[in-house]
Structure 1
């Protein structure tokens, strides 16, 4: 994986039924880079998980990887 954008895309595609509908936009900010994850409406629950645990785990991985790169990242899951 060359970037966190690719990492998020890979994780999401492995979870969903329609991997061709996975899209990740990287939006750089002054202090934090936003990774906006878009999936098919039917796959939204799979990415979020029960009680948001899958999404929380993905955010933890992104935060840890960002720390290693000395950058801040935030994962936002959008419809």
Structure 2
């Protein structure tokens, strides 16, 4: 669920949606989502002063609290 949400948001923001990949690493109490986008699109995903990345993390946190797990978003370059 969270993986699909991050992928959808990222694909909506970037110029090259085909290059968006989200890798999910499951742990006992937390889940790590690794987001990888094109080098040209990294700024669009992070935003000015990290505002877009913070907003995506907030949405992800709200979505994951119902499962009782913590979700962490890592944007890889």
- Structure 2: gaps of 5 or more residues: none
Mapping 1:1-79, distance limit 5 Å: 3-79=1-77
SS at match of 1:30: coil
SS at match of 2:74: strand
Q: Deviations over 1:31-78 (max 9, x none)?
A: 210000000010000000000000000000001101022111000000
RMSD of equivalent CA atoms: 0.7
- Structure 1: gaps of 5 or more residues: none
Shift >6 Å, 4+ stretches: none
TM-score by length of structure 2 reads 0.96
TM-score by length of structure 1 reads 0.94
- How many corresponding residue pairs? 77
* Whole-angstrom CA distance in 2 between matches of 1:66 and 1:24: 16
